[in-house]
Amino acid sequence: MSNIESGIGLVYWPGLEPLFEAEASALTSLEVEVEAFWFQSPREPNKLSLDYAALQRITRLPQIKVVHGVGAALGTCATPNQAHLDAMCESIKLLDAKWYSGHLAFNRVKNPHEDYATGFLLPPLLSEDNLHRLAGNICQVRDRLQLPIALETGVNYLRRQGWEMHDGEFTAKLCGMADCDILMDVHNIWTNQINGRMAVEDFLSPLDPARIRELHLAGGFEYQGFWLDAHSGLVPDEVFEIARDLVPRLPNLRAIHIEILPQFVPGVDLAELQDQIKLMQQIWETRATQLSSWYSVPNTLSSNLKPPQDCTPENWESTCGALVTGREDSIDTLWQQRLASDPGIPLFMDLARTFRAGIVVDLLKMSSRYMMLSLGKETFRKLLKKFWKCQPPQAFGEVECLQFAHWIREQDLDLALLDNLLDYDLALTAMGRDNQARLVAFDCEPMALLQALGEGGLPAQIPSGRYELELTPD
C-alpha cells in the first residue's frame, strides 16, 4: 500500500471551489470523478476525449488528487474497455493522481449477443465463480493504470438470497485474490443495514482492516420504503458515528472524503458543510498507527449452498440489466422469477429512469420545457417512458440526448418550433465538447422564444421568418 496520506477532502464538483481555494482550508485531498469531464464522440463510440480546460482547473487546486471511476465499474464479468482505460490513464497523468478507486458493481451488460449500459450501478453476483472473473479484470485494470486500486463497497437494494456469499466475505476474498485495497463507503454499508440487507458489523467482520485505504461519507433520504444512497447533502450523525468507531482501527487509512452530487451542491449550506469538515478532521486525527482490535466474525458467514447451475455471472448481469432497463428477456427459472419479484428491482428501474430523465431535461433544456408546456408534463413523461422502452441508456449524456432527439423527431408531435429548439440544445451541448462556435437556424425570432421559455411560459406572438443565432464559447 502506498504511504502517501491524502488526508480529508471532498469529491470535487463545480460550486465547491470556495472550500478548496480558501487560504485556511482544512481540505488536503480532492477526489475527482473524471468521467464527468470526458466526452464520447457521437460518430465514433470508441473514441473518448477529455475536457482539458476543466481538468486543468482542478489540477491547479492545491490539494492532493485521487481519481474515482464510475463509468466502467469493477464489479462486472465483462473484460475492461480499452478506450476507457486509455482515457483514464491520460486523466490520471494530468492530475498526478495517487490512486484509483472504482465500484464493486456493474453498469454495463456485455456478451456475444448484446452490449448496453444499464443506467445505474447494479450489484454483482456474489458467487465463488464470479470472484475469479472479477479478480482477473481488476488485475488487468491495475496493470494498465499502474496505480494502487481501491474497490468501493456498494449499496445493494436487493434481498439477500440464501445461496449468495456473505457480502463482507465476498469483498474480503475478492480484494485478497486481486491484491487490491478497499474504499469503505460508510454510508453505503449503513444504507444496507437500514434497508435490512446486512448489519454494519457483520459486513465489516470478515474484512482485512489493513486493506482499507479510504472512507466515503455521504447523505441520503427515504424513498419508496428504502433509504437511498443519494449523495444528497450533509452526512447523517449515524454515519459519522460509524466512522468515529472505525477510523481508530485502520492502520493504513489514507483519506476520508465527503460525497455530494452536483445537482445537490447548490442546496448545501457551505457553512454547515465546513462544520462537518471540522468533524471529519477530528475523526481523521484518531486514525490508527498499527493494527488494533477488529470486529468479531459471526459464527456463520456464507451458507454451503451454491447458486443455481444456470445462474452464471453473465446470466445474472443479463437478467438484472434486462429487468432494470425494461428490455424484453426470458424470465424462466426460479431464481430469475424471484429476482424479478424483488422489491429492489422496481427501485433500481425508477432510479435509472430518473437519472435518464435528468440528463434529457438538463441538456435538452429548452426542448424539454417547450414539450412540457405544449403537451403537458404527463404526456412528456409518457414520451420518455416510450423512448426508454425501445432505447437502452447511454454512458454519456450527449449521446443519450442525440438518440432522444432523433427518436422524438420521428414521433410527429406537430410542434412547430421543436426542431429549432432541439437543434439549439444539441448545438449548446456539442459546443461544450469541442469549444467551437455554431450557427442555429430558427423559423422565428429566437431571442423572444428563448426568453419566454426561460421565464417558464410559451411565447404569445413571435415574428416568423428565417433567422440564425450564433452560439459562441464563453
User: Is 373 found in the same domain as 231?
Assistant: no
User: Is 370 found in the same domain as 337?
Assistant: no
* pLDDT score, position 1: 52
User: Is 317 found in the same domain as 277?
Assistant: no
Cβ distance 2 to 98 under 8 Å? yes
Distance (Å, whole) CA 200 – CA 186: 9
Distance (Å, whole) CA 446 – CA 444: 6
The boundaries of the domain holding residue 328 are: 313-341
Distance (Å, whole) CA 29 – CA 6: 5
User: Is 404 found in the same domain as 320?
Assistant: no
Domain end among 241, 268, 284:
284
Q: Please give the tally of structural domains in the chain.
A: 3
Distance (Å, whole) CA 344 – CA 313: 19
User: Is 117 found in the same domain as 27?
Assistant: yes
In a domain, 418, yes or no: yes
Q: What angle do CA 43, 48, 51 make, to 5 degrees?
A: 115
User: Is 220 found in the same domain as 129?
Assistant: yes
In a domain, 19, yes or no: yes
What is the Cα Rg of the chain in Å? 23
Q: What angle do CA 399, 75, 190 make, to 5 degrees?
A: 105
Across the strands, what pairs with 66? 31
In a domain, 272, yes or no: yes
In a domain, 291, yes or no: no
In a domain, 408, yes or no: yes
* pLDDT score, position 42: 73
User: Is 325 found in the same domain as 191?
Assistant: no
Residue range 349-396, pLDDT digits in tens: 999 999 999 999 999 999 999 999 999 999 999 999 999 988 889 989
Distance (Å, whole) CA 397 – CA 39: 9
Q: C-alpha distances in angstroms, 341 versus 192, 332, 336, 423, 426?
A: 19, 13, 9, 42, 39
In a domain, 289, yes or no: no
User: Is 426 found in the same domain as 323?
Assistant: no
Distance (Å, whole) CA 301 – CA 176: 17
* pLDDT score, position 297: 80
* pLDDT score, position 273: 93
User: Is 388 found in the same domain as 263?
Assistant: no
Cell numbers for 30: 480532492
User: Is 379 found in the same domain as 252?
Assistant: no
Across the strands, what pairs with 64? 29
Distance (Å, whole) CA 148 – CA 179: 9
Q: What letter represents residue 179's amino acid? A: D
* pLDDT score, position 4: 86
In a domain, 297, yes or no: no
For residue 94, give the nearest of 40, 149, 53 by alpha carbon.
53
* pLDDT score, position 2: 58
User: Is 172 found in the same domain as 70?
Assistant: yes
- Helix pair 365-375, 377-390: axis angle to 10 deg: 120
Q: Half-sphere exposure of 73 toward its Cβ, with a 13 Å CA cutoff?
A: 24
Cell numbers for 147: 496505480
In a domain, 317, yes or no: yes
- Mark the ranges of the chain whose per-residue pLDDT is less than 70: 1-2, 300
Distance (Å, whole) CA 315 – CA 7: 41
Q: What is the CATH number of the domain that holds 40?
A: 3.20.20.150
Spell out the SS3 assignment of the chain. CCCCCCEEEEECCCCCHHHHHCCCCCCCEEEECHHHHEEECCCCCCCEEECHHHHHHHHHCCCEEEEECCCCCCCCCCCCCHHHHHHHHHHHHHHCCCCEEEECCEEEEEECCEEEEEEEEECCCCCHHHHHHHHHHHHHHHHHHCCCEEEECCCCCCCCCCCCCCHHHHHHHHHHHHCCEEEEEHHHHHHHHHCCCCCHHHHHCCCCHHHEEEEEEECCEEECCEEECCCCCCCCHHHHHHHHHHHHHCCCCCEEEEECCHHHHHHCCHHHHHHHHHHHHHHHCCCCCCCCCCCCCCCCCCCCCCCCCCCCHHHHHHHHHHHHHCCCCCCCCHHHHHHHCCCHHHHHHHHHHHHHHHHHHHHCHHHHHHHHHHHCHHHHHHHHHHHHHHCCCCCCHHHHHHHHHHHHHCCCCCCCCHHHHHHHHHHHHHHHHHCCCEEEEEEECHHHHHHHHHCCCCCCCCCEEEEEEEECCC
User: Is 326 found in the same domain as 177?
Assistant: no
Is the sign of the CA dihedral 401, 403, 406, 408 positive or negative?
negative
Rounded to the nearest angstrom, the gap between the alpha carbon of residue 376 and the centroid of all alpha carbons in its chain is 30
